[in-house]
Amino acid sequence: MSDIFRIGDKALNSRLFIGTGKFPRKPMIQEVIESSKSEVVTVALRRIDFDVKEENVLTYIPESCVLMPNTSGARNADEAVRIAKLARAAGCGNWIKIEVIADNKYLLPDNLETLKATEILVKEGFVVLPYMSPDLAMAKRMEDVGAAAVMPLGAPIGSNRGIKTKELVRILIDEIKVPIIVDAGIGKPSEAAEAMEMGCDAVLVNTAIATAANPVQMGRAFALAVEAGRQAYLAGTAVETQYANASSPLTGFLD
Amino acid sequence: MSFYEVYNQYKNMDFEGYFSKLTENDIHRIINKDKISALEFLALLSPVAKGSLELMARKANVLTKQNFGKAMILYTPLYLGNYCVNQCAYCGFNVNNPIPRKKLALDEVELEAKAIADTGLRHILILTGESRKGTSVDYIEECVKVINKYATVSIEIYPLEQEEYERLIKAGVDGLTLYQEVYNEQIYDEIHIRGPKKDYLNRLNAPERACKAKMRNVNIGALLGLDDWEKEAFFTGLHGQYLQDKYADTEISVSLPRMRPHAGAFTPKVNVDDKSFVQIMLALRLFMPRAGITISTREEPEFRENVLPLGVTKMSAGTTTAVGGRTQKEDTVQFDTSDKRTVDEIKEMLLSKGYQPVFKDWQLL
């Protein structure tokens, strides 16, 4: 069964997006892209060294992948917009993941500044994917100004705590029409599967893969989990119930 | 409110008395906590905690990997000039030390920056002595503009006013390194014999002024050896936390500079052995999981490698402490470095230990 995932003008087979930070060596990114079959890769513009091929992380990302530069380091909308424009001018394409963080203690996003940057960059022709705290009113505004997807966090970046924001993400899934991609917090493949079973359209994973003892193998594990979760969602998971379904129903006498 | 009030709150506390009441159980309980209070941080610096270094190390390793991954940011210092009007008992640039004095002309700065960029490094820490005449803010601003063609720039210079920090940020500076040297106010006064550096409060409040000016990174530290390290490390951590709590948009990091031989004779008051150094690093990591920790080439190569997994996020490489030391004679060193390996050698070492050397960590906007 074909289950193509569309964002902007791209049709994707994989619903696992990966990050490129925190890896023990850059060439490993290429191996992880292969093992995870990921087709969307996010890269912090701040760390791309365009001058030295071996140091340039883009060297290790196949052209078939969609490059999604991110605005890591931006503390407000203005900086995010400038980083996005620099990325596009440097040939990184027109996808941009907005990351506006003015909080170095918890690395939580600033939704208001993120919204401002989203609005500006959509008008400039970018495919904008804002990373945000899962807030329905904000997500609706992001959607209204033209975000291509919204990326709510499951838990703080790098925390590996799983989908702690589950109830809020579930509301976004119900109410927001653009794709919902859980970004940050996913620490284990089972949690990626959980997000997909819930009906998320995709997940973005970095720390859990990059800092695993074997990142390449972990990339494959995540691919399988995302696929399993997606299949389960499409298959329609059985309804959870608090009571046993007795084979001799209590109301059988009514038949 | 400034950090001075926090300092005053703790400076007269009975450290020994507090340490003597701690048990190994207390330490284990603290290590297992998610969030550690100021006094619990102090407990991790106690003699009792020395018995639990392995346990602390395991947690520090996990926290560092989680927050910073297997990546190590590299930078190198560039000494612009060594004119200095201060008489600091422990420093090679002391106004009374008969060393040649010079500062680099802008074309020499460019040569140095280019030589550094050729090694692959993309971040430079510029240093000067304290001389508003010899190396003025105007001059530093010009240097920043030149170096920005090759690298991003942090400054380790004399304390500035907020407006001056704002000016340099606008010129392209993204980080400040400023060590208090010693938090103990009395010792501070004794060893800063003469010169503007004698003003304890001006120095203590400078990192905060940089935060107010919206500096991206602020790196603080105490020069280990000038007073009891337990107290100095404690105040360093408190200072870092104070800044992090108040200025969440600035990345706070901490350095652990241990005293090194230099021109002039000054004997450190306290010897900070390797075990104590490691204890400081671990306690800081557990107290401030998100803070950067820098380890410089003051430390021996083998030691630097051994502490990599314990919390380090940033290392210097290919360093010289002489003015123009890469393209000119090295006759003006501030202090001797221990790790003399080239940038390539450091890079290979990091890769072999499972760390990705990060040369570029910021994009000028």
Asked if residue B363 is part of any domain, the answer here is no
Closest CA to B77 of B313, B257, B261, B316: B316
Q: Compute the distance between CA of residue B185 and CA of residue B176 in angstroms, rounded to an integer.
A: 22
Q: Output the pLDDT for position A253.
A: 77
Paired tokens of B310: 């314990």
Decide if A246 is inside a domain. Answer: no
Range from A67-71, B21-25, B261-265, B269-273 carrying the lowest mean pLDDT: B261-265
By CA distance, what is A209's nearest residue in B?
A: B69
The model's pTM: 0.90
Q: Is B27 part of a structural domain of the chain?
A: yes
Residue A175 in contact with partner chain B when CB distance is under 8 A: no
Q: Kindly report, residue by residue over B28-67, the tens digit of the pLDDT.
A: 999 999 999 999 999 999 999 999 999 999 999 999 998 9
What's the structural domain count of chain A? 1
Please state the domain count of chain B: 1
Per-residue model confidence as pLDDT tens digits over B292-347: 999 988 888 999 999 999 999 999 998 888 888 888 777 777 777 888 888 999 99
B83 has a pLDDT exceeding 70: yes
Supply the residues of A annotated as catalytic.
Answer: 97
**ipTM topping 0.90:** no
Chain B residue numbers touching A47 (CB-CB < 8 A): 358, 360-361
How far apart, in Å, are the Cα atoms of A54 and each of A30, B52, B59, B191, B294? 13, 41, 33, 47, 25
Alpha-carbon gap, residue A201 to B276, rounded angstroms: 50
Q: Is some CB atom of chain A closer than 8 A to the CB atom of B122?
A: yes
Q: Does B61 touch chain A (CB under 8 A)?
A: no
d(CA B8, CA A40): 53
Q: Is residue A244 part of a domain?
A: no
Question: Does residue A243 belong to any structural domain of this protein?
Answer: no
In a domain, B31, yes or no: yes
For residue B90, what pLDDT is reported?
A: 82
Residue A61 lies in a domain: yes
For position B94, what pLDDT does the model report? 86
- In the predicted structure, residue A241 carries a pLDDT above the cut 80: no
Of B70, B122, B244, the CB nearest to A23: B70
- Per-residue tokens: B66: 């989680």
Indicate yes or no: CB of A158 within 8 angstroms of CB of B359: no
* Enclosing domain of residue A55: 5-235
- Has residue A140 been placed in a domain? yes
Q: Which of A81, A188, A211, A218 to mutate to test the interface with B (most CBs of B within 10 A)?
A: A211
Residue B364 lies in a domain: no
- Mean pLDDT computed over A37-65: 90
Distance in angstroms (rounded) separating the CA atoms of residues B153 and B172: 7
Window B:272-301, CB contacts with A under 8 Å: 290
Question: Tokens 């990060």 label which residue?
Answer: B358
**How many residues in total does chain A contain?**
255
What CATH number is attached to the domain comprising B204?
3.20.20.70
- Tell me which H or E stretch contains B154: strand B152-156
pLDDT at B263 over 60: no
pLDDT at B262: 62
How many CB pairs lie under 8 A apart between chains A and B? 78
User: Within B193-300, where are the H helices?
Assistant: 200-204, 206-212, 229-246, 274-287
CATH number at residue A17: 3.20.20.70
B355 contacts A24? CB cut-off 8 A: yes
Total residues found in chain B within this entry: 365
Residue ranges making up the domain that contains B184: 3-358
Give binding residues of A for 1-deoxy-D-xylulose 5-phosphate as ranges: 158, 184-185, 206-207
Assess if residue B74 is contained within a domain. yes
